[in-house]
Structure 1
Amino acid sequence: MSEKIILNTKNKYTSEDTIPITDVFIKIAENIKLLLIVPFIFILITIINVTFFITPGYTSTSKIMSSQGSGGESSMAVGIAAQFGVNLSGENELKWPYSETIKSRKFARRLISKNFNSKQFGTQKSLRYILTSGKNINEFDISILELDAVKIFQEMINVVEDPKTGIFTISVSAKEPELAKDINNQIINELDLHQKQTNRENASKTKIFIEERIFSIEKELIASEEKLKNFRERNRRIENSPSLQLEQQRLLREVSVLTGVFTTLKQQLETTKIEEVRDSESVVVFDPPEKPVFRSSPRKTLMVIQAAILGLTFSFLLIFFKILLEKISKKDKNKILKAKSIILRQFSIKL
């Protein structure tokens, strides 16, 4: 008997708690205006926000890579030093770390000190001034403005490398299309200057090393030649002495080897001097930056679709909540009202 009562009670609560699918469709039909109005409001707010409040962004892209000529010259200088036991390869990789260079704070500080033209802030204004929305140094600490500008600059730059081809794609986003293009151009120019300077510094290091080796080898060569001369002066006739002939061959071989090294170093010194003053192109530009025609952000169509989906979801939640409220029995409603009055009473006592 007790088991039947329990089963009946369970069936009663189950039937009361479940919501028939027909009721859901009926409620949707009754609240069709809600399903149309709420998404429309969400879409309208999004369009107003995108049109009047969100600042549009424009992205200029370019594709570059390190020139093989510059890499070959640097590697030749490294090879010269390596022949004599000095390793300069750690500072002279053929693969240039463009991503790390552009994203570095040092590079960013160089860029934000350059002047650019802006429709909003005027002509020939520093990038620091433009990125910090025209804040004056007199009103703010220069170090704070610089840190803010560096952070903004790093966020507006994106560098992607193709590992197969070694080509870097540089993307620059800015509020103005012309400004985005100019910043991208300036980045390439600064990279080219940086790479040329690095090549010249490496060539200078190699030249100093070669000059030191020439000085050392020249002393050894003079000493060896002096030994050979003294040997010949002391030993006029060595035809009948195998040991003296062997000694003369050893001295001749030593002089010959040192002469070859000395000649090679002299040739390489001239080559390195040419590399040191050479001003060839270091960065090869495949696709130069262009002025973007269309804005890259915000994406109005995508945001409107998202707003419509969010509005529909919110509408269905409201309808579902209304169905749940209607399913609550009168007794449960009284309990809810009682709980509400207790909460209000507690707050009134505390106040």
Structure 2
Amino acid sequence: MFEKLKNALRIRKSDTTGQNLILRNGRLHLDIISMGRYLFGNLRLLVFGAIVAMTMTGLILCLVSDKYRSQATILPSGKTENLSLLKEMAGLAGFGIEGNESSSVLYPDILSSRQIKEAVINYRYSFGNPVQTEMTLKEYFDTSVNEHLLRKLESITSIDLDKSTGLITISVETKYPELSQAIVRRYLAELEDYNMYRRRSSARERVVYLERELAQRETELRQAEDDLEQYQMANRNWNMTSDPEILSNLNRKKREIMAKSETYLFLRNQYDLAKLEVQKDIPIVRVLDNPSLPLVKSGPQRLLITLLSGAIGVGIMSLFLIILCIFRNSREAVPGIAGMPVTARRTILETEEVNR
């Protein structure tokens, strides 16, 4: 077998015209035609390299588990500002909070955030029918290092935003079809939870702040009204008096009450509007396509990978043969034989080969 391989690797020194394919006139020449003829002459070795590469790749792919991809599509959410009529009815025009822009633009960033990923990782999934299987992604990835888990989850997750339509596609690929579907569902649930309870925190803080300010202003207004009432009771003839000091104090207290009343009414309007904003600012995740249960594997593409490995094997074997050809011919480039007849050059080269 080794003798056959050795003979197959032996450089062919003459073509159909009796001239050397690589060594011409004692000098080394490289051209595509010569290389093509040389490689075609070693076609069996190229096929052998392809078969070896494809066989090894096939054996490795047999050890790789099938993967199943589940996918869901989210519709874009338009602007949620639609309270102009309520503002006019409540007399709140001009005091409003500006409406938010389309919240779905941020969905890919929210889904890719560390907070959402950690929630998806720590959730315990139950899947399988009829036998139920429970596991976390820590068990699936067989690691408890948080950074490794985040990277592995990112490697099996794909989140895409179609800028022309606004559609958001999220997909997950695992070894189990039901697990892939369950992870996509968990992503959607975490997104909904974020929108409902965490994304609206700033609006709630505004309501809390206005409640606190409103209570304080109401207390100050009542205190000012009580002061005016007590002053009037202390000066029972205040409505008929001409004492400039009493009249001045009464006017000052009335102006103070008027200013505090205007401030209180302004804050009250702001508070009512803020409560309307909180009620309407509930981003809803509108799912176009629910997470699918994949029945056909999405990978690996064994046939395609095997064919590519065969092509790579042919390329590697071709490179090996060309390098070997150049090395052999460079050794055969004996000085002083340039210009000799073909028969004489061949005799000298054969003699050198025997001596070696």
How far the C-alpha of 1:183 sits from its partner, in A, is 0.6
Give yes or no for contact 2:127–2:179 (8 Å, CA) kept in 1.
yes
Q: Equivalent residues in 2 for 1:300-339 (5 A)?
A: 300-327=302-329, 328-329=331-332
How far the C-alpha of 1:48 sits from its partner, in A, is 3.1
Q: Equivalent residues in 2 for 1:8-23 (5 A)?
A: 15-19=26-30, 23=34
Aligned-CA RMSD value: 4.9
User: Which protein shows a greater Rg?
Assistant: 2
Distance 1:285 1:171 in 2: 13
Give yes or no for contact 1:113–1:126 (8 Å, CA) kept in 2.
no
How far the C-alpha of 1:213 sits from its partner, in A, is 1.5
Distance 1:315 1:179 in 2: 43
How far the C-alpha of 1:225 sits from its partner, in A, is 4.2
Decide whether aligned partners of structure 1 residues 255 and 119 sit closer, same or farther in structure 2, where only a CA change above 3 A counts. Answer: closer
> Which residue identity lines up with residue 218 of structure 2 in the other structure?
E
Q: Secondary structure at the match of 2:169?
A: strand
Q: Which has the higher helix share?
A: 1
2:65 matched to which residue of 1? 55
CA offsets per residue over residues 153-196 of structure 1, 9 Å max, x none? 23322323345555432221211122111110111112211221
Q: Secondary structure at the match of 1:173?
A: strand
> Which residue identity lines up with residue 116 of structure 1 in the other structure?
Y
Decide whether aligned partners of structure 1 residues 221 and 234 sit closer, same or farther in structure 2, where only a CA change above 3 A counts. Answer: farther
Distance 1:166 1:309 in 2: 41
How far the C-alpha of 1:256 sits from its partner, in A, is 5.4
Distance 1:326 1:56 in 2: 47
2:209 matched to which residue of 1? 209
Decide whether aligned partners of structure 1 residues 223 and 66 sit closer, same or farther in structure 2, where only a CA change above 3 A counts. Answer: farther
2:300 matched to which residue of 1? 298
Decide whether aligned partners of structure 1 residues 179 and 70 sit closer, same or farther in structure 2, where only a CA change above 3 A counts. Answer: farther
Q: Secondary structure at the match of 1:160?
A: strand
Give yes or no for contact 1:211–1:269 (8 Å, CA) kept in 2.
no
How far the C-alpha of 1:206 sits from its partner, in A, is 2.8
How far the C-alpha of 1:25 sits from its partner, in A, is 4.4
Q: Secondary structure at the match of 1:292?
A: coil
1:196 matched to which residue of 2? 196
1:267 matched to which residue of 2? 272
Please, which moves more after superposition, 199-208 or 304-313? 199-208
Q: Secondary structure at the match of 2:173?
A: strand
Distance 1:59 1:71 in 2: 37
1:28 matched to which residue of 2? 39
How far the C-alpha of 1:289 sits from its partner, in A, is 1.3
> Which residue identity lines up with residue 177 of structure 1 in the other structure?
P
Distance 2:178 2:172 in 1: 11
Q: Equivalent residues in 2 for 1:40-119 (5 A)?
A: 40-50=51-61, 52-64=62-74, 95=103, 97-117=106-126
Distance 1:208 1:252 in 2: 25
> Which residue identity lines up with residue 70 of structure 2 in the other structure?
S
> Which residue identity lines up with residue 63 of structure 2 in the other structure?
F
How far the C-alpha of 1:247 sits from its partner, in A, is 7.3
1:283 matched to which residue of 2? 285
Q: Secondary structure at the match of 1:236?
A: coil
How far the C-alpha of 1:35 sits from its partner, in A, is 2.6
Give yes or no for contact 2:224–2:253 (8 Å, CA) kept in 1.
no
How far the C-alpha of 1:287 sits from its partner, in A, is 2.3
1:153 matched to which residue of 2? 153
Give yes or no for contact 1:131–1:149 (8 Å, CA) kept in 2.
no
TM-score by length of 1: 0.64
Q: Equivalent residues in 2 for 1:113-132 (5 A)?
A: 113-117=122-126, 123-132=132-141
Q: Secondary structure at the match of 1:294?
A: coil
Q: Secondary structure at the match of 1:283?
A: coil
2:50 matched to which residue of 1? 39
Give yes or no for contact 2:221–2:257 (8 Å, CA) kept in 1.
no
Distance 1:249 1:162 in 2: 62
Question: What 5-or-longer segments of structure 1 have no aligned partner?
Answer: 1-11, 136-143, 336-351
Distance 2:282 2:103 in 1: 18
Decide whether aligned partners of structure 1 residues 202 and 301 sit closer, same or farther in structure 2, where only a CA change above 3 A counts. Answer: same
> Which residue identity lines up with residue 57 of structure 1 in the other structure?
K
CA offsets per residue over residues 288-345 of structure 1, 9 Å max, x none? 211224333323343234223212212322332343244222869999xxxxxxxxxx
Give yes or no for contact 1:56–1:298 (8 Å, CA) kept in 2.
yes
Distance 1:33 1:267 in 2: 86
Distance 1:234 1:158 in 2: 82
Distance 2:117 2:197 in 1: 17
Distance 1:164 1:287 in 2: 18
Distance 1:233 1:131 in 2: 85
Q: Equivalent residues in 2 for 1:211-230 (5 A)?
A: 211-223=211-223, 225=225
CA offsets per residue over residues 116-157 of structure 1, 9 Å max, x none? 24569x734231354234x8xxxxxxxx45554444223322
Question: What 5-or-longer segments of structure 2 have no aligned partner?
Answer: 1-22, 87-91, 336-348
1:139 matched to which residue of 2? none
Please, which moves more after superposition, 202-211 or 257-266? 257-266
Q: Secondary structure at the match of 2:298?
A: coil
Decide whether aligned partners of structure 1 residues 145 and 112 sit closer, same or farther in structure 2, where only a CA change above 3 A counts. Answer: same
